[in-house]
Amino acid sequence: QVQLTESGGGLVQSGGSLRLSCRASGSIVGKSAMSWYRQAPGKGRELVASAATGGSTTYADTVRGRFTISRDIAENTVDLQMNSLKPEDTAVYYCKILFYNGTYLTYWGQGTQVTVSS
């Protein structure tokens, strides 16, 4: 059993900062990618940032330069430092892990709300 737990969401003014954290518990062996997605009301879920085991990172164009994703491989955690927040960043943020354990497996966290006021 693998469970992902997010924390750090909240209410912040435009231009402020938040740091989201996600911890994956359970047996995770081998290569993996941990990612942050977000979903705003009435919109689809979109990739925000992703980090692979080897250190490769990916960012959505809308957050590049403002957000930073970081991993602790040994602890199976991934953080998302969000700076210069904008109202358009308001969404539920979800942590995701993709890893290979005989087959490719994907698990999602429950989500944490981020609200940016104008």
Residue 81 DSSP class? E
Residue 34 DSSP class? E
pLDDT of residue 93 exceeding 80: yes
Distance (Å, whole) CA 97 – CA 99: 6
Distance (Å, whole) CA 1 – CA 89: 31
Report the pLDDT value the prediction gives residue 110, as an integer from 0 to 100: 96
Q: How confident is the model at residue 118 (pLDDT cuts 50, 70, 90)?
A: very high
Asked if residue 117 lies in contact with residue 87, where contact means CB atoms within 8 angstroms, the answer is yes
- Using alpha carbons, select from 70, 65, 95 the residue that is nearest to residue 80: 70
Distance (Å, whole) CA 57 – CA 82: 15
Distance (Å, whole) CA 43 – CA 23: 26
pLDDT in tens, 15-65: 999 999 999 998 777 788 999 999 999 999 999 999 988 789 999 999 999
